[in-house]
Amino acid sequence: KLIKGNIRSVIKTAIQVCQAKAESKKIKVNLICHEDISAKIDTQLLEQAAVNLLDNAIKYSEEGGLVQIQVITTDTEVCISFKDYGIGIAKEHLPRLFERFYRVDKARSRKLGGTGLGLAIVKHIVQTHEGYVTVDSELGEGSNFVIHLPKI
């Protein structure tokens, strides 16, 4: 069930969940979000989606890197972007990223852990919020995943 919820508090919880992993790689997680942004959400599900995206951003960032989470609103949407400056993703992989079990680099994925389900779960969660996910990435420059939710 979707109810009006505060986006900043959801993201702050996700940051706390991923804090130890970020600290172990000396990665700074920077949040840019006004206090009063809300949307119709299932708090626990949206937290899970945020944790999955933040966990990936940390996983694929270099040690000492930066992950930036920014929440902006447009006339019709609340957009939550997770930007890293890590290894990036080649363009040919972008269309299939949200498929279950799809992995860009199978050997690396096994080494870093993970099931290949994280982004499929994110997509499903965001769709239950009547939203969608986009990704923009450059190989060697990092990735930007954006959750788009309908504005209340």
pLDDT in tens, 16-69: 999 999 999 999 999 999 999 999 999 999 999 999 999 999 999 999 999 999
Q: Which of 19, 59, 26, 25 is nearest to 142 (CA)?
A: 59
**Residue 137 to residues 5, 38, 39, 102: CA-CA distances in angstroms?**
29, 27, 26, 17
Q: What percent of the chain has pLDDT over 90?
A: 80
Per DSSP, the residues of 57-83 read HHHTSPTT-EEEEEEEE-SSEEEEEEE
Please give the tally of structural domains in the chain: 1
pTM summary value: 0.92
* Domain carrying residue 60: 3-150
What does the radius of gyration of the chain's CA atoms come to, in whole angstroms? 15
CATH code assigned at 140: 3.30.565.10
pLDDT at residue 86 tops 80: yes
